[in-house]
Amino acid sequence: MKQRSLFDVISPIMTGPSSSHTAGAVRLGILARNIYKEIPEKVTFKLYNSYATTGKGHGTDKGLLAGLLGLTVDSCDIKNIFELPISKKIKYTFEFEQNIDRHPNSVDFILEGKINMTISGNSIGAGNVEIIKIDDFSTKISGEYNTIILFYKDKPGMISRVTTLIQADNINIASLECDRNAKGQTASMCICVDGDIPESLIKSIENIEDVYFVRNVKKLED
């Protein structure tokens, strides 16, 4: 469980007007950036439900793009992001959809470039967010912890091989969650840790046989 803080009630210093629709949108953009790692050539933002209907008035569209481009929740550039040179570097479009199966404040980042990836996230209240899906895999990335995310072939011993490497670096695991499409098919692992994740650890996990994809998703700073 999250350690509660005094600064849950007096923070963040943020661009208004809404913690869920503005600050939350920026944070989702930052997490998508931390997962994708590259600058995409093109991104389609698909906004759902309340994000779709009241997003414009709350600057949700601006926040999502600003976060993806690396701006933080307190940046005064969010307001004018569409006019700034950094937003000219990539192509972006917005789509709006109503879908009762999705969270009220929900978004898909459809990223195209060296690799194509779809990242889905929700803004769950008071600026807190979670990435719930990368392509077809369920995830649970809240940005509270540095997180290792990997996709691999579902077979015995994979969790143990990965956690042995983590233990070798003397890193404490805060939580671990797995998901799979079907037995023997592709599976996903989501590992939240205390402290920093060295790049060398990510490399060694990548080298495990039948690991398809590994990312070190940095926690949110504010």
For residue 175, report the phi and psi dihedrals to the nearest 5 degrees: -160, 155
Q: Pick the closer one to other proteins by CB: 30 or 149.
A: 30
Smallest separation (angstroms) from other proteins to the CB of 11: 6
62 vs 102, beta carbon nearer other proteins: 62
Strand 42-48 to strand 105-112: parallel, antiparallel, or no bridges (unpaired)? antiparallel
Count the alpha carbons within 13 Å of 38 in the hemisphere toward its beta carbon.
Answer: 12
- Which two three-digit tokens encode residue 40? 């995409």
CA dist., res. 93 & res. 42, Å (int): 8
Taking the least distance from each CB to other proteins, the nearer of 33 and 58 is 58
Minimum CB distance to other proteins, residue 17 (Å): 4
Q: How many CA atoms lie within 13 A of 32 on its CB side?
A: 34
Of 35 and 64, CB closest to other proteins? 64
CB of 163 to other proteins, least distance (A): 25
Cβ proximity to other proteins: between 39 and 84 the closer is 84
Q: Which is nearer to other proteins, 115 or 126 (CB)?
A: 126
Q: Which residue has the tokens 């879908």?
A: 99
Provide, rounded to whole angstroms, the least separation between the CB of residue 26 and other proteins: 11
> What letter does residue 8 receive in the DSSP assignment?
G
Instruction: Check: CB of residue 149 under 8 Å from CB of residue 217.
Output: yes
Using CA atoms, how far residue 99 sits from 22, 50, 88, 185, in Å, is: 21, 10, 30, 29
Least distance (Å) between residue 183 CB and other proteins = 38
Query: Quick one: which H or E segment has residue 190?
Result: strand 186-193
141 forms bridges with which residues in the sheet? 131
Q: State the nearest-atom distance from the C-beta of 25 to other proteins, in Å.
A: 12
For binding to other proteins (CB under 8 A), which residues are involved? 3-20, 22-23, 50, 53-54, 56-59, 62, 74, 76, 78-79, 104, 125-127
What does the DSSP 8-state code read for residue 99?
-
Min dist. Cβ of residue 5 to other proteins (A): 7
Nearer to other proteins, 11 or 116 (CB): 11
3 state SS of 175:
strand
Q: Which residue has the tokens 């194509």?
A: 116
